[in-house]
Amino acid sequence: MSALQTVKFYQTGTFTVGNRLLAPEDRSVQANMQRTNSLNSGHRACQGCGEALGARYAIDAAMNATNRQLIAANATGCLEVFSTPYPETSWQIPWIHSLFGNTAAVATGIAAAIKVKKQKGQGQDVRVVAQGGDGGTTDIGFGCLSGMFERNDDVLYICYDNGGYMNTGVQRSSATPSAARTATTMPLGPEPGNPFGQGKFVPAIAMAHEIPYVATATVADLRDLENKVTKAMGMRGARYIHILVPCPLGWGTASQDTIRMARLAKETGVFPVFEAEYGELTSALAIRRPLPVEDYLKPQKRFAHLFGKNPAVETIARIQAQADKNIRRYGLLAKETV
Amino acid sequence: MDKPFAITLNPGSSLANHTGSWRTARPVYLDRLPPCNNQCPAGEDIQGWLFHAESGSYEAAWRHLTRDNPFAAIMGRVCYHTCESACNRGKIDEAVGINSVERFLGDEAIKRGWKFAAPTQESGKKVLIVGAGPSGMSAAYHLRKLGHAVTVMDAGPYMGGMMRFGIPKYRLPREVLDAEMQRIVDMGVTVKLNSKVDSILDTMKAGGFDAAFLAVGAHIGKRAMIPSGDAAKIVDAISVLRSMEGEDKPLLGRRVVVYGGGNTAIDVARTVKRMGAEPIIVYRRTRDKAPAHDFEIEEALQEGVMVKWLSTIKQAGDKEITIEKMALDDKGFPQPTGEFETLEADSVVLALGQDVDLGLLNGVPGLEVTKDGVVKVGTDLMTGHPGIFAGGDMVPADRNVTVAVGHGKKAARNIDAWLRGETYAAPPKHEVARFEKLNPWYYADAPKTVRPMLDIIRRQSTFEEVQGGLDESTALFEARRCLSCGNCFECDNCYGVCPDNAVIKLGPGKRFQFNYDYCKGCGMCVAECPCGAIKMEAEDI
C-alpha cells in the first residue's frame, strides 16, 4: 500500500477511500462520484455484509479497468441469492447466474464465444469475470476452476471468502478456519469446532497452477484490492483473486465491525495478503501494527468456545502458529515506509 | 406478453426494495468540537485554519485564523499552546505542532504584506480602549472590524504593553510585534501613546465615547518584606524588563539574584544572562511546583541560569544575601528549616507577581474591585458600571497573552451588542470530539516536526530569537498531521464502506448525505469514519 503513496505525506496517506489532497486521478475508484455501483442498492444482503462490499469494490474496479466492457458469471451462493431474487436484480453490469459448481466453466465459455466473435470481426473486446463464494469456489466448483486454470482461459476468477456456506445456515466449507464453530462443526467433544489439518487455501493451489496472476485481498484494504483487480484486468489468461469478506452472521460479529475484522485478520497474520505471478510470490502487504491472534478471534462468536472461564490456550496457540507460518511464508513483516 | 417460457414478471431493479425499512438505528452526520479549539483561550478555530493550510492555501488559513486572533506571528512565539496538550494526535504519536504552523502563517503574512480589510460600513459609535497591550489591541481589531470608531490610549511610549515591556526580545522580536500592531492601526484605529488616562469617566465624556474597554494590565511589581541594609540594591522584575526597551540598560552588577518561580523570574534571569551577568534564581518551592512553564525552566538551565530551589531570602546586604533552606510539609507548603546559606549578590530582582494600577477607576459608580485588587466583571466582561468593560490582566483570570487576546475578542462582541442595546449570546458549543470517537487506523504515521533552536553560545550572549520557525515544506507536513477530530474532511470513507451504496457524495466541499431509503443501519460508516463525524441514533419504531 505504501508504494501507492507517491507523495510524502497526505494526512491519511492512502488508507482512506478518498483524500481531498490527492489529485482526482490518484484517488480510488470507490471515491469517484461516477463509480459504476455495479451492485446497486436494494440488495438483500445482511446488515454490514462484507461480500456485498467486496463485490462492489472488485467489480467497480474491473468495470473501470475495462472501460465498462465486462460480463460476469456468478456461482450460486449468498452473492447470487441476495442480489437477484426473481424478478429483481441489483447488478448494473451484464451478469449471468450459473450453477453452484460450474461458474469457471461458464466464464470459459463466454470468453471462448467472445474470442470467436472477435475473430469473425464481430463485437468488441469484452472481458470476463467469474465470481463466487468460498463454497462455490473451493468445494463445489473446484474442478471447473482447476480446469480453467490449467487451460489458462482468459478469465479473472474472484472468490469472496467468508469461510462457510452462510445463506443456507452457516455450514462448514473447505475454507472454514480451524476451530471455528459452524452448524456442521459444533463446539463439542475433545476437539471442538472445525478440525485442524483439514481444508485448503486455494490461492496457494492456484499458484501451483502457475497461472499469470494470483492475489489475495481484504475489504479492509481498498486501495490494495482495487490495484490488484486493475492489474489483473490488464493481463490475459487465467487470473485468480481471493478476497476475505467477513460475515457478521456466520462469524457472530457486530455489523459495524466487518471492515475491522478483515483488518484484524490481516494484521494478525491469520489471512496473508499477497500477490504472485506465474507461481512466484511477487509482493506482500506488510502488517502495519502486529497483533496476537486473540485480538482477531475474541470478537467472533464462532470462536467463543476458545475463551470464557477456561480459555483453550493450546488451541489458540495452534492458531497463532498458523498465523506465524503465514508471516514467515509470505514475508508479512517487511518494514513499511511512510 | 412476449415473455419467454415460464417467465411471468418483467425484470426489475432492486431499487424497488427499500431496505431502509430494516433499520433500527440510523447514522447521522454531526460536527464535534475539536479538543484544540475547545482549549484555546483566544477561541481560535484551529482545526478550521489548519484545514486551509493542509492544501497549501496559506493566505486563506491566515484569514481564517485572524477571524478570532489578529496576532498569528506573536501567538506562534509566545502562546503557551495548551491546545497541543489537548490534541488527540498526542495519543497516536505526538501532538500536532499547532503553534509552529501558526507562527509560519503569521510570518508568511508579514513577509507577503497581507492586510486586514477596513470595515465596509461605519456604525457611528465611538469606543475608547485604555491600554495598547494584547487585550486592548485585540479588542480594537474586533471592534473596528464591526465598524466602530476605536481610539486606543496608552501611557507607554510604544504599542504592545506586556508583549513589549514584559516579554524579552529573544522570545518575541520587536519587528514582529511592530508589524502586527501596525496592521491594526492600518484598519483605521486611532492610537494615542504617552497618554495616561487618569479618570475614565472624564476621558469618555471629553471624547464623546459610547463605551470603553479597560485593559491596562498589571504593571506594579509586588514587593516582599526583606530585611536589608541601606546599600542593598533591590529592584522589581517588570522595571528591569521595561528598562531593556529604553536607552538606559539596568545596572545590576555581576551576581544577580532573581526571587520568584514564575515565567517573569525566568525571563529576567535569561535576560541578565544575555547581558553578561550571572543570574541565580531563588525560589521557595520545588521545580515541579514552580508556576513557570517547565520548558522555559529547561531552556534557562540550558543557558546556564542557576536555581536554588526550596530557598527564601532572609536578608539582603550590600554584596551578599542570606537564604534559608525550606522543606515541603505534608500539604506541599514550604516550611523553614533553620538552615542558612550565604550567596554573593550585587542585586536582588523581585519577580513575585504584579498588581494592577486602578487609579483611573476612582469615582466610577457601581464598579467593584476584588480582594486580590483586580476589577470584578460579569461573564460579558462588563464591570459594575454600564458601558465600561474590562479584560486582560486587570480582571480575575490566568495572566498570559492568549487569555488577554481572548478577552479582547469577547469584550468586543459584548460591547458591540451592548451598543445596539442587545445582549451577545455565544452560539452553543458542540460536544467535544474525544479520542475514543476516532478511528486512528486511517492516519498515516508521521512524527512531529521539531523547530530549530538557536545554538547555546548565541543564546547566552545575544538577544537573537531562540526558537526558529518552520519552512514551507515542514509547515505543510505539520498541518497535515491534523486528524480533523470531529469534523468531516471528505476522506470518502463513508461513501466507500457502505455495502448498500446508501451514502450520497455531494461533491467537493459539500460533504455527504445518507440515503435512508436503502441504509440498513449497519453502522460501518460510523465505525470507519476516521474523525468521528458520524453517530448512530436509535430509530423510533
- CB spacing of B13 vs A40 below 8 angstroms: yes
Q: How far is B515 from chain A (nearest CA, A)?
A: 10
Chain B interface includes A23 (CB < 8 A): no
**% pLDDT > 70, chain B:** 100
Beta bridge partners of residue B336, listed in sequence order: B326
Residues 6+ apart with CB under 8 A from A47: A248, A255, B22, B520, B521, B522
| B290 pLDDT higher than 60 | yes
Using CA atoms, how far apart are residues A188 and A170, in angstroms rounded to an integer? 17
Residues 6+ apart with CB under 8 A from A265: A218, A220, A244, A246, A271, A296
Do B147 and B188 meet the contact criterion of CB atoms below 8 Å apart? no
| B70 pLDDT higher than 70 | yes
pLDDT of A8 reads: 54
pLDDT of B113 reads: 97
- CB spacing of A9 vs B9 below 8 angstroms: no
pLDDT of B6 reads: 85
Q: φ and ψ at B83, to 5 degrees?
A: -55, -40
| A1 pLDDT higher than 70 | no
Q: How far is A151 from chain B (nearest CA, A)?
A: 35
Chain B interface includes A69 (CB < 8 A): no
pLDDT of A3 reads: 40
pLDDT of B227 reads: 85
Candidates B492, B510, B531, B535: best to mutate against A (most CBs of A within 10 A) is B492
| B10 pLDDT higher than 90 | no
Residues 6+ apart with CB under 8 A from A310: none
Which grid cell is B461? 550572549
249-308 in chain A: CB under 8 A from chain B: 254-260, 263
Candidates B88, B477, B520, B536: best to mutate against A (most CBs of A within 10 A) is B520
pLDDT tens digit string along A206-228?
999 999 999 999 999 999 999 99
pLDDT tens digit string along B242-268?
988 887 788 899 999 999 999 999 999
User: What residue in A sits closest to B482 (Cα-Cα)?
Assistant: A11
pLDDT tens digit string along A160-172?
999 999 999 999 9
Residues of chain B with C-beta less than 8 angstroms from the C-beta of A20: 55, 489-491, 508
Do B464 and B452 meet the contact criterion of CB atoms below 8 Å apart? no
- CB spacing of B9 vs A28 below 8 angstroms: no
Look at A246-250, A332-336, B14-18 and tell me which has the smallest mean pLDDT.
A332-336
Q: What is the mean pLDDT of chain B?
A: 94
Closest CB to A17 among B441, B491, B521: B491
pLDDT of A338 reads: 36
* Region of B45 on the Ramachandran plot (φ > 0 left; ψ -120 to 50 alpha; else beta): beta
Residues of chain A with C-beta less than 8 angstroms from the C-beta of B475: none
What's the whole-number mean pLDDT along residues B464-493?
A: 92
Residues of chain B with C-beta less than 8 angstroms from the C-beta of A86: 9
Do B475 and B491 meet the contact criterion of CB atoms below 8 Å apart? no
Using CA atoms, how far apart are residues A282 and B483, in angstroms rounded to an integer? 34
Residues of chain B with C-beta less than 8 angstroms from the C-beta of A88: 11-14, 16-17
Residues of chain B with C-beta less than 8 angstroms from the C-beta of A254: 523
Chain B interface includes A28 (CB < 8 A): yes
- CB spacing of A37 vs B19 below 8 angstroms: no
Look at B236-245, B494-503, B509-518 and tell me which has the smallest mean pLDDT.
B236-245
Residues of chain A with C-beta less than 8 angstroms from the C-beta of B491: 12, 16-20
Closest CB to B528 among A30, A49, A259: A259
Domains located in chain A, CATH noted: 35-330 (3.40.50.970)
How many CA atoms, within 13 angstroms, populate the side-chain half-sphere of residue B171?
25
Q: What is the mean pLDDT of chain A?
A: 94
Q: How far is A306 from chain B (nearest CA, A)?
A: 26
What's the whole-number mean pLDDT along residues B193-211?
A: 96
162-191 in chain A: CB under 8 A from chain B: none
What's the whole-number mean pLDDT along residues B325-333?
A: 90
Confidence of residue A9 (pLDDT cuts 50, 70, 90): low
Look at A13-27, B63-77, B78-92 and tell me which has the smallest mean pLDDT.
A13-27
| A337 pLDDT higher than 70 | no
Alpha-carbon B401 to chain mean position: 7
Residues of chain A with C-beta less than 8 angstroms from the C-beta of B482: 11
Highest mean pLDDT among B128-132, B238-242, B426-430: B128-132
Which grid cell is A61? 474496479
Confidence of residue A5 (pLDDT cuts 50, 70, 90): very low
Q: How far is A222 from chain B (nearest CA, A)?
A: 9
What does the angle CA A134 – CA A135 – CA A139 come to, to the nearest 5 degrees? 105
Alpha-carbon B540 to chain mean position: 44
Domains located in chain B, CATH noted: 14-31+488-538 (3.30.70.20), 35-114+438-479 (1.10.1060.10), 126-219+356-419 (3.50.50.60), 221-354 (3.50.50.60)
pLDDT of B91 reads: 94
Closest CB to A19 among B16, B445, B491: B491
User: What residue in B sits closest to A21 (Cα-Cα)?
Assistant: B55
Beta bridge partners of residue A281, listed in sequence order: A276
- Which helix (H) or strand (E) covers residue A327, if one does? helix A313-330
Candidates B8, B13, B14, B89: best to mutate against A (most CBs of A within 10 A) is B14
Residues 6+ apart with CB under 8 A from B453: B466, B467, B468
**% pLDDT > 70, chain A:** 96
pLDDT tens digit string along B381-414?
999 999 999 999 999 999 999 999 999 999 999 9
- CB spacing of A257 vs B527 below 8 angstroms: yes
pLDDT of B2 reads: 82
Closest CA to B281 of B253, B254, B262: B262
Residues of chain B with C-beta less than 8 angstroms from the C-beta of A50: 499
- CB spacing of B444 vs A33 below 8 angstroms: no
Which grid cell is B535? 453517530
Q: Which residue has the cell 520557525?
A: B469
Confidence of residue A6 (pLDDT cuts 50, 70, 90): very low
pLDDT of B482 reads: 95
pLDDT of B40 reads: 97
Residues of chain A with C-beta less than 8 angstroms from the C-beta of B520: 47-48
Confidence of residue B344 (pLDDT cuts 50, 70, 90): very high
pLDDT of A23 reads: 86
pLDDT of A4 reads: 47
**Which is more confident, B458 or A62?**
A62
Q: How far is A148 from chain B (nearest CA, A)?
A: 30
Q: By 3-state DSSP, what share of chain A in percent is helix, strand and coil, each rounded to 5?
A: 40, 15, 45
| A7 pLDDT higher than 70 | no
Q: How far is A291 from chain B (nearest CA, A)?
A: 13
Alpha-carbon A10 to chain mean position: 28
Do A243 and A54 meet the contact criterion of CB atoms below 8 Å apart? yes
Query: Roughly what angle, to the nearest 10 degrees, separates helices B472-479 and B46-54?
Result: 120
Beta bridge partners of residue B324, listed in sequence order: B312, B340
Residues of chain A with C-beta less than 8 angstroms from the C-beta of B523: 48, 254-256
Do B236 and B218 meet the contact criterion of CB atoms below 8 Å apart? no
Residues 6+ apart with CB under 8 A from A311: none
CA torsion, ordered A162, A163, A165, A167, to nearest 10 deg: -30
pLDDT tens digit string along A168-211?
999 999 999 999 999 999 999 888 999 999 999 999 999 999 99
